Each structure stands twice: as C-alpha cells, then as structure tokens.
A and B are shown apart, each in its own frame.
Chain A
Amino acid sequence: MVNEALYPMMLLLGSALAVPIVSKAGEFINFPKLRDVFSFIVLLLTLIITYLLIPSAPLSYRVEVFGGPYGVELYVSVMSIYMAVIALIMLSLVAFYSIKYMEVDNGLDKYYTLLLTLAAGMVGVVFSGDFFTLYVFWELLCISSYALVSFRKYRWQAVEGGIKYLLMSTVGSLIALYGISLLYGVAGTLNFSALSSIISQAQFGVPDLSLYTIIVMIIIGFGVSSAIVPFHSWIPDAYVGAPNCVASLSTVVLKISAFSIIRSLMVVFSPFRFDYGLILICFGVLSLTIGNFMAIMQRDIRRLLAFSSVSNMGYIFTGVGVGSYVLFRFGSQAVFIFEIAMIGVFLHMLNHVFGKGLLFMAVGNFSQSTKNYFLNKLEGIGRKMPITGLSASIGLLSLAGVPPLSGFWSKLFLISAAASLIYDPVLAMTLAFLVFNSIFDAAYYIWVFQRIIFKPVSEKSQNATEVSSLMWLPILVLASFLIIITVRLDYFTAFVGAALKSLFGGG
C-alpha cells in the first residue's frame, strides 16, 4: 500500500517521463497537441488529488533506513496543501495557455516535461518534512525553472536573463545548503521536528550567535530565489527573457521559496526564542521601498511587473517579520497579532500569485497582437481587446488594493497587524513604510490601468484584435478567482487561520 502523501509526486514525475512517448504517439496519430492536452489533464488530476488530501491531513511518510525515528520524511499539513493547490491551479492554467501561446516554438515535448518536473519540485518543496527532502526538491524546482526561463534560446534576452538567474539562484541555494550543513553539524539530524526539539532544549550548549548565523544563511539562501532586495537584480532580466507563461509561473516560484523560509524557520527555530523577525522586517521594508521606486521608472511593462513582484515579496516578508517579532518581544499574549499577520501573508500570497500571473498572461496576449511591450505603445489597447482588457483591469485593481477587491483585504490584514502595537518603535516604523508603500503601489498600478484602458488608442495598437479563446479563457478564470476570493473572503480567512496551527506541527 502506497502512502497517500506520495500520490501527487508519483503522478507528476511519472507523467514527466511519459511526455516524450506521448509526444511520439501524438505525431503517429497526426494530433501533435496530444502532449499539451496530456500535461494539462495530468496537472488538473494532480490538483484534484491534492485537494482531496485535505480531510486526511496531516499525513506523513517516513523513510527510516537512516536509523531511528527521524529519517527522511514527507510531511503534508493543511498549509502545504494550500500552497500546493495554489501552485497547481497556476500550473494547470499555464499549461492550458501554452497550448496556443507556445505553438510557435520547437521542442515542446521538452517544455512540457520541464513543466511537469517543475510541478513535482513545487509539490515536493511544500510537502517536505526535513531539510534533505527540501533541498532535493528545491533543486529539482530550480533546475526546471532555469531551463524554462531560457527556453527560447534563440533570443539573446532569454540567454542573458537565464544565465543571470542561474548563477545568482545557484549561489543562493548553495549558501542555504552550507547553513543546513552547519545545522546538521550542531544538531546531528535534519528532520524539522527533531531539530526543533533538540534546539529548544535548555542544555543544548551551542551559543545563540552561531544559530543566528545559520538563520541568516537560510534567509539569504532562499531569499535570493524569492527576490528580496539586495538579491533582486536577476528578476527583471529573467522576466524579460522568459516566455510570458513561464514568467507567470515564476511568481509561484517566489512564493514557494518564501514558504520554505517560513516553514523551516518557524518550525525549527521557535519565534519565541529567536529574534529573526527583525531581520525579516529589514529585508521586507527594503524590498517594498526599492521595488516600488524601481517599478515606477520602467518603460517595459514586464520589467514594471517584475519590480512590483519585488515589492510584493516585501509585503510578505514584512508580514512574516511582524508576526515573529511580536512573538519574540511580547510572548504568548501576542499570538493573536501573529495570527493576523500570517493570515495577511498567506492571503497576499494567494492574491499576488493570481493577480500577477493574470497580468503576465494578459501581457502575453497584448504582445501577441501588437508585438511589443512598451507602455507608451500599449495605450488604449484594453478597449481593442475587451476580454483581456477587462480581466487585466481586475488584476491591476486587485494588486493596487482598490477596496472591494481582495488585494485590499490582505494589505489591510498586514497593516492592522503592524498597527496593533503602535507604541513599539520598530512596529511603528514598519507601519509607516507599509502605509506609504501601499499608497505608492496603488498610484502606479492605477496609472498603468488608466494608460491601458482609458487613454486614446496609440497607433501601434490600432489594428489589435482579441486573441483566440484558448488564450483569454485562463485569464478570465483567474479574474473570476480574484472575484470569488473577494466574495468568499470569510471562508478563505477561516481556512488560513485554521491551517496556521498546522504550520508548527510535525515534520
């Protein structure tokens, strides 16, 4: 009997191997898009299987050959299923979008294989219960993602963006691996729950300073892939180089790396004892401000969206930082504020994945009919392409945080968590930065919105027509998701709030 926790990964990795065979079979029966449909169906099936795991969570699967109870482990909590479901929704929509968008390229059997291994890496990272599994699936995710970013290797932008991404992200994950090896040296195990029980012992005998070194290494290592500010310089280049559907997947990669930071830090190093909240707040505030200032100077819409991803990762890191900072400073009486901050973080992940993924696909549609990406040449195109324009405006307004839409509520959660203990100087500074940057955010998103929708149609986009339904359907689905999140916000808040308790457990 195979453990249920293995089903999604077995399905994904098995069908990744099967894609070349399916591709040959499709050529044989004269239907070359068989592989596209096959990967879309596999991703959809995995999504359903992963969703059905929720009632039986928490699940764990252990390989106990390495002696004793703490071996290599998969640990499936409700929060990991939440992240995996977000990732798989985006992946299946991107697979659907690629049927039409990627048809100009050669070697699509490799593209779909990489898409499925990327999915397996994402699911594996969020399901992992120890650093060994985390690192292996992390590298699976990263390698697939490098190859996908530079997939159109005949364009110099793809090669330049891809190699910058590869070198920075590899060095980052190596720094994280060095931290993990030091952690293994001081504790003798890599399992999350075993590590947390060892480190919380009073007579552990390792000075806190060396543990802080390890914490900083883990934050920096995974932070390079989640594009926090001193390490963000790869992200605009990679987004310009990548095909637009891959760029909309990269937003998921950012969230997965942020989740692996959250999970490994919160479980292993108790926030009641270690003050890494302050480190995370510093990185978060820096990313917020610099990301926004860089975004407003860009003329290429993809670079603008890339820098706004940096600032949105800043929101997430600031939220995690505020949560763990209040736990360290005020102890268990501040658990309520911690929960508000973390609910804000996870709702913001949801909003940003769907909103930014939608915008990148919409930019792909715009470029499909006008062949350019410059903002001044895309003016008024939203009225020429009504369905894409409507969906893109919902995404832009949601990311801007215009009140009824869901982007507003997640930012409100983050701001209210920072505002609840205003007499603390760090939280007061954080609050000031959050409020300033959410206004700044809203300003340039609404500016882009009015340029794309309301300005007179520029001569470049005079002949633009709506793209085929295979390309606007996923965008419309994402826009309707954003509206569903808005309408059923109480459900999502309650779900995330209940899932937060599982974040600390097991592993």
Chain B
Amino acid sequence: MYNILIIFTFILISLSIYCITTKKNIIKTVIGIEIFTSSINLNFVIMGARGDYVDALAQSLSIISIAIGASVAALALALIINVYRHYGRVDWDELRRLKW
C-alpha cells in the first residue's frame, strides 16, 4: 500500500518538474512549485506512517512546510505583479533583458 503511494508522489513530482521546466508562463511555474511542495508533504506523511500509529515528527514537518510553501508562493506572486508592471506580460521569454 505504502509503495503505491510513494510511487504516486514520485509521479506527482515528475509532473511538477515537467511543469516547471516547460511552461512559459511564470504563474504556471509557481503552480508547478506548489504541486512539488504538496507532493513532498504527502511523501513525508506517508513515510511517517508506522502501521497503526503515525510519527509526530513527519506531521509537524509537513505542517511547517505547508506554511513555508504558502509564504514562498505569496512572495513569488508579489514579484509576478511587479514583473507585470515592468514588462507588461508574465512570460519567461520577456525576462531576458539582463545581459552583460
């Protein structure tokens, strides 16, 4: 049972890495990062399961990790608003002005 769940989280992580590396839109990249965070939290909770009880360490780490992921996403979205103000689009192709 646990093995299936671990393989499931691995598939989710592969999907999110695909999303992060291929999408042109910055907001979609942030969505990919959120999926990545959630699947790692899921992985922690699965790893903490010990048959009939659950390790408290994994639970507390995943709760804190959810909070951290939310703050990173908030900061990323705040920066994306500023990207939109400066560039007019939220697209990785636009963010190529810094050279030399």
Cα of A303 to Cα of B65 in the assembled complex, Å: 34
- Distance to closest chain A CB from B1 (angstroms): 14
Cα of A66 to Cα of B48 in the assembled complex, Å: 12
Question: A176-184, A410-418, A495-503: which one contacts chain B?
Answer: A176-184
A160 is an interface residue with CB less than 8 A from chain B? yes
Q: Which residues of B contact A303 (CB under 8 A)?
A: 100
Cα of A182 to Cα of B58 in the assembled complex, Å: 12
Q: Which residues of B contact A71 (CB under 8 A)?
A: 57
**Interface set, chain A 399-435, CB cutoff 8 A to B:** none
A329 is an interface residue with CB less than 8 A from chain B? no
Cα of A72 to Cα of B64 in the assembled complex, Å: 13
Among B36, B56, B76, B100, point to the contact of A67 (Cβ < 8 A).
Answer: B56
A153 is an interface residue with CB less than 8 A from chain B? yes
- Does the CB pair B57–A66 fall under 8 Å? yes
**Interface set, chain A 154-188, CB cutoff 8 A to B:** 156-157, 159-164, 166-167, 170-171, 174, 177-178, 181-182, 184-185, 188
Cα of A153 to Cα of B80 in the assembled complex, Å: 11
Among B20, B33, B82, point to the contact of A153 (Cβ < 8 A).
Answer: B82
Closest to A163 in B: B79
- Does the CB pair B40–A177 fall under 8 Å? yes
A339 is an interface residue with CB less than 8 A from chain B? no
Which of A132, A157, A300 has its CB near the most chain B CB atoms (within 10 A)? A132
- B 84-100 to A, binary, CB cutoff 8 A, 1 in contact else 0: 00110000000101101
- Does the CB pair A170–B72 fall under 8 Å? yes
- Does the CB pair B80–A163 fall under 8 Å? yes
A47 is an interface residue with CB less than 8 A from chain B? no
Chain B, interface SS category: helix
- Distance to closest chain A CB from B83 (angstroms): 5
Q: Which residues of A contact B6 (CB under 8 A)?
A: 185
- Does the CB pair B43–A178 fall under 8 Å? yes
**Interface set, chain A 118-148, CB cutoff 8 A to B:** 132, 135-136, 139, 143, 146-147
- Distance to closest chain A CB from B17 (angstroms): 8
A240 is an interface residue with CB less than 8 A from chain B? yes
A299 is an interface residue with CB less than 8 A from chain B? yes
A298 is an interface residue with CB less than 8 A from chain B? yes
Q: Which residues of B contact A160 (CB under 8 A)?
A: 83, 86, 95, 97-98
Q: Which residues of A contact B25 (CB under 8 A)?
A: none
Q: Which residues of B contact A309 (CB under 8 A)?
A: none
- Does the CB pair A156–B75 fall under 8 Å? no
Among B20, B48, B56, B95, point to the contact of A164 (Cβ < 8 A).
Answer: B95
Among B37, B56, B83, point to the contact of A174 (Cβ < 8 A).
Answer: B37
Cα of A208 to Cα of B52 in the assembled complex, Å: 29
A interface, size bucket: 35 or more
Closest to B95 in A: A160
A190 is an interface residue with CB less than 8 A from chain B? yes
B61 is an interface residue with CB less than 8 A from chain A? yes
- Does the CB pair A174–B36 fall under 8 Å? yes
Chain B interface residues toward A at CB < 8 A: 6, 13, 20, 26, 29-30, 33, 36-37, 40, 43-44, 46-48, 55-58, 60-61, 64-65, 68, 71-72, 75-76, 79-80, 82-83, 86-87, 95, 97-98, 100
- Does the CB pair B79–A171 fall under 8 Å? no
A318 is an interface residue with CB less than 8 A from chain B? no
- Distance to closest chain B CB from A148 (angstroms): 11
Query: Can you report 12 residue pairs joining A to B where beta carbons are below 8 Å apart?
Result: A71-B57, A139-B68, A153-B82, A156-B87, A156-B97, A160-B98, A167-B76, A171-B33, A174-B36, A178-B43, A181-B40, A240-B98
Those 5 A-B pairs whose CB atoms lie nearest each other, nearest first: A185-B47, A156-B86, A159-B82, A139-B68, A181-B43
Which of A66, A162, A177 has its CB near the most chain B CB atoms (within 10 A)? A177
- Does the CB pair A170–B33 fall under 8 Å? yes
A324 is an interface residue with CB less than 8 A from chain B? no
**Interface set, chain A 297-330, CB cutoff 8 A to B:** 298-300, 303
- Distance to closest chain B CB from A378 (angstroms): 15
- Does the CB pair B40–A174 fall under 8 Å? yes
Q: Which residues of A contact B13 (CB under 8 A)?
A: 178
Q: Which residues of B contact A190 (CB under 8 A)?
A: 57, 61
- Does the CB pair A300–B100 fall under 8 Å? yes
Closest to B39 in A: A178
Which of B26, B68, B71 has its CB near the most chain A CB atoms (within 10 A)? B68
A365 is an interface residue with CB less than 8 A from chain B? no
- Does the CB pair B75–A146 fall under 8 Å? yes
Starting from the known contacts A166-B79, A178-B43, 16 additional A-B residue pairs (CB-CB under 8 Å) come to A65-B56, A66-B57, A72-B57, A139-B68, A143-B68, A146-B79, A150-B82, A159-B86, A160-B86, A163-B79, A167-B33, A167-B76, A170-B76, A181-B47, A189-B57, A303-B100
Among B37, B43, B75, B100, point to the contact of A147 (Cβ < 8 A).
Answer: B75
Cα of A241 to Cα of B97 in the assembled complex, Å: 12
